[in-house]
Amino acid sequence: MYHVTWEEVDKQAQAIATYWRDKGIATVYGVPQGGAPLAVMVANYLGVRVVEEPKLGLSTLVVDDLVDSGRTLQDLHKSFATDAAFCKPHSPKVYAPSAVCIDDWLAFPWERNHGKPTDGIVRLLEYIGEDPSRDGLVDTPERVVRALVEMTQGYKADVGAILSTSFDVPYDEMVVLRNVPYSSMCEHHMLPFTGHVTLGYIPSNRVVGLSKLARLVDAYAQRLQVQERLTTQLTDALQEHLNPIGCGAVVRGNHSCMCNRGIRKSGEMVTSSLVGVFRNDSTARAEFMALAKP
Positions annotated as catalytic residues are 186-189, 227, 255, 257
Amino acid, single-letter form, for residue 68: D
DSSP string, 52-106: SS--TTS-EEEEEEEESSSHHHHHHHTTSEEEEEEE-TTS-GGG-TTPEE--S-E
d(CA 279, CA 288): 10
48 close to 41: Cβ distance less than 8 angstroms: no
Paired residues of 107 in beta bridges:
3
Could you give the residue ranges of the DSSP H alpha helices within the chain?
6-20, 35-46, 71-77, 118-127, 140-151, 159-162, 210-221, 227-242, 256-259, 277-280, 282-291
- The separation between CA 204 and the C-alpha centre of its own chain, rounded to angstroms, equals 35
29 close to 14: Cβ distance less than 8 angstroms: no
d(CA 271, CA 250): 6
Q: Measuring CA to CA, which residue among 282, 279, 273 is closest to residue 199?
A: 273
- Collapsing DSSP states into helix, strand and coil, what is residue 232? helix
- Collapsing DSSP states into helix, strand and coil, what is residue 242? helix
- Collapsing DSSP states into helix, strand and coil, what is residue 142? helix
Cα–Cα separations (whole angstroms), residue 272 to 24, 193, 196, 210, 275: 58, 16, 12, 20, 10
